[in-house]
Amino acid sequence: TELFYVLNGTGNFLIEDRLFTVSPNDLVIVNPHIEHTEKSMNANPLEYIVFGIEGLIFTFDQKFENENFGLYNFSAEKNQLTYLLNFMLQEIQEKNPHHETICQNILEILILYINRTHGAFLQDVQGMRRGQTVSGRQLCAEYHAGYAG
């Protein structure tokens, strides 16, 4: 699963055969093995953080009920979400002692927060039993800025 959080700029996401416009504070969640691409607008290129999380699958609210992706705006929750994402990104980049445990715990908070505010549910975690945490999942993160392609 990939989570894209738009910090600045405007662009489009092509997910399967559907095109969506994205702008600041939009969070795009794409489940595994779903074809997708993003494209910035030349006048105002996208700046975003993307997290790839192995083994997670989301079920989405009524708006995206039968889809393998979701698109949510977090303008009202901007400060909370950007804090969590930047904190996790910094931990991944710096790789200080215990960074993996810190990132896994932030990821759990992030998933619960997304669920509470926008109804995207964690459907399945491959190889986990109900009640277990998401610890041990491979997590990678990147920051992208100014790409217009």
pLDDT in tens, 100-127: 899 888 988 988 888 888 877 766 444 4
Q: How far apart are CA 56 and CA 126, in angstroms?
A: 7
User: Tokens representing 6?
Assistant: 């738009």
The per-residue pLDDT for 132 is 40
pLDDT band, residue 146 (cuts 50/70/90): low
Q: pTM above 0.85?
A: no
Residues contacting 119, CB < 8 A, separation 6+: 60, 61, 62
Which tokens in the block code for residue 126? 């491959």
pLDDT, one tens digit per residue, over 10-50 is 999 999 989 999 999 999 999 999 999 998 887 889 999 88
Q: For position 143, what pLDDT does the model report?
A: 55
List for the chain the helix, strand, coil content (%; round to 5).
25, 40, 35
Do residues 120 and 28 lie in contact, with contact meaning Cβ atoms separated by under 8 Å?
no
141 or 34: which carries more pLDDT confidence? 34
- Say how many C-beta atoms besides its own lie within 10 A of residue 5's C-beta: 25
Q: So what's the pLDDT on residue 128?
A: 42
